Chains A and B, each alone.
Chain A
């Protein structure tokens, strides 16, 4: 699951029956600061997102489960329209306590 921005639409007349009546949108994957990362992809939109909106989408097999027919040949589907992204970016709490190294691990072998 990742964040993305809707950057356009794809129109296809002749397609597999199971994805008829569903919108196809071009989306640009984003990082947590909403900066574009990677290449745009085409994703099926069962929740009626629009141009310019920030959405989150699911990849791989699970994306088909978001559609009316869970056996659709789809590998990316939009699953939510984002209202708010909170990035606190707090450093790891108790980092020294959690990450411990054993310099003398050899001795225990």
Chain B
């Protein structure tokens, strides 16, 4: 699982039928202090996150299928939670 912040969303009309009704958000991975790391990517939103939220992103297809309750959907990454607090040793 990765920590990330939501920076935007993507709208598409012509898409694979299983993407209908799902929000696709752009997420930017962050480190444990909130600084941006690596490249941004797209993620399916299951928790109604919005821009500026810190979220937990799972990049694994089986998790996505279990969460969305489908067996054959091509989702690879899903937002699984909104983060309230991150406590680390200084």
Which A residues have a C-beta under 8 Å from some C-beta of B? Answer: 1-3, 31-32, 37, 46-49, 56, 58-66, 70, 77, 79-93, 95, 97-103, 105
Chain B, interface size category, equals: 35 or more
Contact A66 B34 (CB under 8 A): no
Q: List the A side residues contacting B32 at CB < 8 Å.
A: 99
The DSSP consensus for interface residues of chain A is: mixed
Contact A100 B87 (CB under 8 A): yes
A101-B32 Cα distance, complex, nearest whole Å? 10
Please name the residue on chain B nearest to A101 by beta carbon.
Answer: B90
Please name the residue on chain A nearest to B13 by beta carbon.
Answer: A83
A23 to chain B, nearest CB (A): 14
